[in-house]
Chain A
Amino acid sequence: MPKHYRLPGKKKEGNAAKYITRSQAVKYLQVSLSVFRKLCILKGIFPREPKKKVKGNHHTYYHVKDILFLKHEPMLETLRDIRAYEKKVKKAGTKKNWDLVERLNKQKPTYSLDRLVKERYPTFIDALRDLDDCLSMVHLFAALPAVERERIQVGQIHKCRRLSHEWQAYISRTHKLRKTFLSVKGIYYQVEVQGQTITWLTPHALQQVLPTDVDYNIMLTFLEFYETLLGFVNFKLYQSINMKYPPIIDSRLEDLAADLYALSRYFDANARASVVESIDVSSSEESELKLARLQHHLPTNELGALMNLVEDVGEKDEDDAETKECRNFFKDMKFFLSREVPRESLLFVIPAFGGVVSWEGEGAPFPESDQSITHQIVDRPTQSRKFLSREYVQPQWIYDCVNFRVILPTDEYLVGRVPPPHLSPFVDNEAEGHVPEYAEAIKRLQAAARKEVLPLPGAGEEDLGDPQNLLGIIDRAEEIEAAEKKRKMAILQKQYLDEQKLKLEGCNYYDRQNVSKQKDAEGLDADADADADADVEGTDADADVEGTDADEVPPPDLRQIAEDADNMSKVLISRKKRKLLEAMEIGNERKRAHVKLLKERKKKIDEAEKSR
């Protein structure tokens, strides 16, 4: 009798009762597979991994309760209606009953997803937590071309663009942006909204390729939900900063593809209205905006000043320290973007860190000839006409500055130079084991910057004798160096002590050599492992030395001993744990090998440079 055979009429239990396969579920719900798929996507139902796969290994299993949850979904009925409706339309079409087709086209059954949004994300925080995929998808579609063949509608793309801009405008406005990364795949952004870290990827602002082996229906179903979700999230966020949603955008700027700037102006206008209302200035800015929208005209003078004014007043002290830092990061800088730089991204990033920015083209807040511009972002081989009052830097400078929160020297980022490597801010270099050279340089710069900044708050008490103050002033790098020195000293001391001990015990030369060898091995180990491990290793080696002393026999091999100790501790572990341990060791080994490979490459490059 097979393992899961059940007599007819006998109740199922266990995994056989809890899980059903996908085809069973489809049959149970009496829908087609595509409808089931759509329902699953919108409801957020996913297959689960049963402990025991009763029907076989190659099936997809859904939990019965999930399927029941789907069964009681009112939208299931709507989807059925839609199917019936489509049949009607098709039938009328084939009978050339165009009146009916026309009438039917007006009354397609619709559904709204707001209930599902609430159901899937009962609290706002839940929604924020799950926003990564949503944002990536919306930003991707905002960059895609509309394709009739794949049923990607123009309206949808525009909606995606609008939603993404609204989101970016909010982030930029509230200075929530934390990290950016120019990758080959696109630009990654990381923000922190209400304590949730949200990361998303925007594709490069270039013509995207639409591969044919992709089922766009599935993507569009996802997008359908994501659009709704992001709409609600944006609404909530705008509400939280007392803005009206949806925002009213100056259509002239919109036409010029400067939506972000238009949005920021909308913010500014709103804020100013709220500020100025008390001073009782005649016209509300919003109505003015509305008027301008109608007239397609906005006063473009004194805009920079307006922006600054609002910046100063805008935010209260409720922000955390990091947001404050971000707000004042580019405080006294004025940027100008050349034609060839990624405008949308920089228009998002620079204001998010408190900078003022303009660009080449219509509708820009200030022209290139503005004397107060401090930096011009340029991404071309040479710049023919240069203003002496400003610095011409590549866009990477902005992103690097922002990531490391330090205004980097612009020498290496000047026009035409090959910029230093762009490092990912998402990597923990220490944990990874390999610290790129440039990261170290930046660390030094950061430390230097901190040194400058640190005494400032305590400017009143300029007492150098104060030990705390001194501690604050000490350079980080120096500190690290000191620590290293100390460690080296300790090692030397230990070595000396060991040698002394050996001498006392009258060991021969061979032994001493051995000990020195052992030290070498230790050194190697210390290299291979993280620095912190070195001390531990030292003590271990110490113990071994004692052991050899007691036996008065030269130890065969230090590695052998270590391995033996390792093996012996493994002997007693249960098989499960042993396998786990081995897997961990393999993983660590792989990591180490990767780091080693990187170091070797680095060494080779350095050598090649030296020889040149």
Chain B
Amino acid sequence: MIGRSFVVSKLKTIRISLQLQLQFGYLDSRLTMKIPKNKKQQKKEEAGKINETLGRIGQQLAQVADNSEDSSSDSDFEVVDNESLSEDEGSISESGMEQSEPSDNEDVVVSSDDDNNDDDDVGSAGDGDDRNGDDTSNSSEVDGGESDDSREVVEESDSSEDEVAPRNTVGSVPLEWYKDEEHIGYNLAGRKIKKKERQNKLDSFLASADDSKSWRKIYDEYNDEEVELTKEDTKLIRRLLEGKAPHADFDPYEPYVDFFAWDDSKHPLSNAPEPKRRFIPSKWESKKVLELVRAFRKGRIKFDDKPKEESNLYDVWADDSSLTERQGLTHIPAPKFKFPGHEESFNPSREYILSQEEINAHQLLPEEDRPKLIPKQFMFYRSVPAYEKAVSESFGRCLDLYLCPRARKKRINIDPETLKPKLPSRKELRPYPTTCYLEYKGHKGPVTSVTTESTGQWIASGSNDGSVRVWEVETGRCLRVWDIGEPVLQVVWNPLPELPLLAIAAGQDVFILNTGLGSEEEQKKIEELLCVETPTAPDDSDKNASFISWGPDDKHGGVRLKHFKTVSSIEWHRKGDYLSTLMPYDILSPNLNFIYLLIHTHLIGIRHCCEAFCLLSLCFCSFLNSLKRESRSVLIHQLSKKLTQRIPYKLRGLAVSSAFHPIRSIFFISTKKDVRVYDLLKQKLIKKLEPGVREVSSIAIHPSGDNVIVGSKDGKLVWFDMDLSSQPYKVLKSHEKDINKVSFHRSYPLFCSCSDDCTAYVFHGKVYSDLNQNPLIVPLEILRGHASAEGRGVLDCKFHPRQPWLFTAGADSVIRLYCH
């Protein structure tokens, strides 16, 4: 009863709020004990709230207390009180912690309704009680002077009950200390307070069941008695639960009464004079105002909140006269999107729907190659789903519109046939070889070369099997066979009809053989011509042909010219006396060998070093000279004098083919890159033709001498008009593979090319005597028939000297004659 009354009395006084705070803690713990099961949760939350609110209120109250205690006279007491306050605050925070943490525990405790745990509860409650005890001690200091202290009492409560002091005076010590004792503490007189006898559980339960007021009873462990809460107490608790001030009379928002009377003071707190700025209008404010005023005037700040008129549409194109042309650069309109085809339909024809294999095949393709849309058939329109790429495609179109560079491109919507040039009818250009008429069979290997006799009665052919054959053209009869022994690279018939000689290039040798044709007188002449006494020894003094030896060929009865390298091609001069041979291989290596040999022999044979040096230097000089000025790869032989000459020019690159001008004394040498034209009389370079092809393989000169055709290894045939320029007049891309040979007809306006793709092209090539008219070139016929052998096709082609016939020598060891 004492505790309860104490509570009530303390709560009524606001000024002494310290106890109140502590009391809240006490009440709180009580409350948690008494909460019925079903409301546990709610209570718990509320308890938390209360803790907070109480804390707040406590602080407020503390302030209030501070303020109010300012007025109190006893300064000593004040200090003490402050100290205790701070202590208490600490304890509050502690207790708050404690209570928030074990709140669960408490729940469990309450729900179990066990006495054992009740002890624990008692313990925790004891905590509160401890504080309570502390409070009591404090409060006793403050207002408990009534009992025996001489301190002044602040009369506040009017109920006499409230003044009952607690019995126990042990202070805030843990009650555990008295657990084993028979007493719980001491009364004011210093006597022990004996513990009451504890009731049996059963009895206490029965008692509580019997007693209708048992729900209001709280066991006060500190004083070891039961306290019954009065109606006021419950009200107070309810108010606290609601988060209000504990007492109904308390007004937290009452007007503040200042403790300091400012008005009546004689002296001001600060004696500074009033500044000037208090008396003049603000400059910055006026600036700001001015700015705003200007903004209003200029319309920068508007106060009309009306939304703008939405439709401000009018006829933009009302007066078309003002501006009919677009400004700026020429506009290139964007191309329209592609119209959909049948396959884009929701229900396409069945032939547009892909089979499963085709769809799978599409999946194997790289992403960008796959078709954008796979046609799909929906039986009904209602089953068509939304197109998931609609937005993406629209976005793609937007990107195209503003990001794609635009350029006007002429779209050629023409028949491809119109691109092809209009050629004159082939019928008008007859005769030309069209069909295979005869085949000459007999060679065992690829026929590398074929040549016609100037009368046109005979042809000769050379083959890789080492044989040279002479055939009669019209019958196909093989007249003679020579076995040279080495693969024959070229066979050329002497252009003079009265000198039926055959020049044969085989390996490093060139044979000039008598074919035995013609009349007896001619034969005599030939025999005289071919008579070579002894093999002329290499004459070092003569620089012309130091390494060419002329000698009789015993085996075949002709002349044999030994070269130092493989001879790849031979060409007769039109007069039949001169013969050019061409060794395409590197000119440096034989020279070096030669020099090395020289040095070697001399070093051994000659004792004097200085001589050797002299010789060496001499040799070297000559070698350098030769390197600078002359080419050893092309030689010109004179049959009547049995002489050999080098051409006195330097070549750049490897010589491939050579030719004499048909009328004048001009000599053509083609290297891999270009064709050089030399004047033999003036001994200088006249012209350099640039075909611009990868590798030249052969050249041929038009009978009039002003036009040259060049065949190349990339299948192009290049026509040069010497009068025009050194650039090609026309480039004909005819063959797919290397062109092996090109040739002109001697009298008809025909030329041909043969290639490794087993075809020979026959062209009409008309050269007009009128210089203003360009040559007319018309492709006439593609001749087929040869078979490919070891990757090679037609190796040589020659026109018949009189008729428009063509002989082709194939790698399939057959010679064919094509007639018109």
Residues of A at under 8 Å CB distance from B?
Answer: 37, 40-41, 44, 46-49, 60-61, 63, 65-66, 69, 103, 106-107, 110, 112, 114, 117-124, 126-127, 129-130, 132-133, 136-137, 140, 144, 181-186, 188, 199, 203-204, 206-211, 213-215, 218-219, 222, 231-232, 235-236, 239, 245-246, 340-342, 379-380, 394-396, 418-419, 421-424, 426-427, 432, 434, 436-438, 551, 553, 556, 560, 564, 567-573, 575, 577-578, 580-581, 584-585, 588, 598-599, 601-602, 605
Contact = CB atoms under 8 A, between A and B. Distances in A.
Interface centre among A119, A122, A208, A573 (most CB of B within 10 A): A122
B783 to A, nearest CB: 10
B606 interface: no
B420 A573 contact: yes
B349 interface: yes
Interface centre among A395, A426, A568 (most CB of B within 10 A): A568
B345 A422 contact: yes
Given A183-B344, A598-B351, A214 B392 contact: yes
Contact of A571 (B342, B355, B732): B732
15 contacts: A46-B401, A49-B407, A184-B375, A184-B384, A203-B386, A232-B317, A236-B315, A341-B382, A423-B345, A423-B349, A426-B339, A569-B420, A569-B423, A571-B732, A601-B352
B421 interface: yes
A362 B523 CA distance: 122
Interface string B416-448: 100111010000000000110000000000000
B346 A46 contact: no
B252 interface: no
B387 interface: yes
A559 B327 CA distance: 57
A222 B405 contact: no
Given A185-B393, A222-B398, A418-B379, A436 B345 contact: no
A207 B326 contact: no
Contact of A129 (B333, B355, B435): B333
Contact of A46 (B337, B342, B405): B405
Interface stretch (B40-48, B162-170, B306-314): B306-314
A426 B343 CA distance: 12
Nearest to A49: B407
Interface stretch (B133-141, B273-281, B297-305, B695-703): B297-305
Contacts of A48: 332, 405-407
A209 B381 contact: no
Contacts of A117: 316
A419 B336 CA distance: 31
A551 B435 contact: yes
A571 B305 contact: no
A379 B340 contact: no
Contact of A219 (B348, B376, B394): B394
Contacts of B392: 211, 213-214
B243 interface: no
B329 interface: yes
Contact of B779 (A422, A560, A571): A571
Contacts of B784: 556, 560
B406 to A, nearest CB: 5
The 5 closest A-B pairs by CB, nearest first: A426-B339, A49-B407, A206-B386, A568-B779, A602-B351
B342 A423 contact: yes
Nearest to A143: B390
Given A203-B387, A341-B382, A572-B421, 13 more contacts: A69-B327, A120-B326, A122-B320, A123-B317, A183-B346, A211-B391, A222-B398, A379-B382, A436-B342, A551-B435, A553-B435, A584-B416, A601-B355
Given A208-B390, A551-B434, A571-B761, A426 B313 contact: no
B608 interface: no
Contacts of A231: 311, 313
Contact of B332 (A46, A183, A584): A46
A144 B314 contact: no
Interface of B: 300-302, 305, 308, 311-317, 320, 323-329, 331-334, 336-337, 339-342, 344-352, 355, 373, 375-376, 379-382, 384-395, 397-399, 401-407, 412, 416, 419-421, 423, 434-435, 730-734, 761, 777-782, 784
Contact of A204 (B305, B340, B384, B777): B384
Given A107-B302, A580-B412, A188 B350 contact: no
Q: Does more than half of chain B's interface fall in helix, strand or loop, or is it mixed?
A: loop
Nearest to B437: A553
Nearest to A601: B351
A143 to B, nearest CB: 8
Contacts of A601: 350-352, 355
Interface centre among B385, B387, B390, B423 (most CB of A within 10 A): B390
A104 B649 CA distance: 91
A186 B390 CA distance: 8
A132 to B, nearest CB: 5
A214 B393 CA distance: 10
A219 B329 contact: no
Given A132-B337, A396-B347, A426-B339, A567 B782 contact: yes
B391 A436 contact: no
Contact of B420 (A60, A120, A575, A581): A581
Contact of A218 (B315, B352, B395, B407): B395
A246 B312 CA distance: 10
A324 B382 CA distance: 32
A436 B399 contact: no
Contacts of B380: 379, 394, 419
A185 B340 contact: yes
Contacts of B350: 421, 601-602, 605
A176 B269 CA distance: 93
Given A186-B390, A188-B340, A572 B320 contact: no
Interface centre among A126, A182, A564, A571 (most CB of B within 10 A): A571
Contacts of B326: 119-120, 122, 126
B344 A136 contact: no
Nearest to A202: B390
B394 A136 contact: yes
A118 B316 contact: yes
Contacts of B329: 63, 65-66, 69
Contacts of A581: 416, 419-420
A277 to B, nearest CB: 24
A560 B759 CA distance: 12
B347 A585 contact: no
Contacts of B305: 106
A44 to B, nearest CB: 8
Interface centre among B345, B351, B373, B397 (most CB of A within 10 A): B351
A532 to B, nearest CB: 12
A133 B325 contact: no
A9 to B, nearest CB: 28
Contacts of B301: 103, 107
A209 B388 contact: yes
B336 A199 contact: yes
Contacts of B340: 181, 183, 185, 188, 424, 426
A580 B418 CA distance: 12
Contacts of A106: 302, 305
Contact of B733 (A41, A121, A232, A571): A571
Nearest to B311: A246
A148 B23 CA distance: 56
Nearest to B436: A553
Contact of B402 (A41, A395, A605): A41
B315 A46 contact: no
Given A133-B401, A214-B391, A235 B315 contact: yes
A232 B316 contact: yes
A570 B420 contact: yes
A395 B780 CA distance: 63
A585 to B, nearest CB: 6
Contacts of B389: 185, 211
A418 B329 CA distance: 54
B344 A421 contact: no
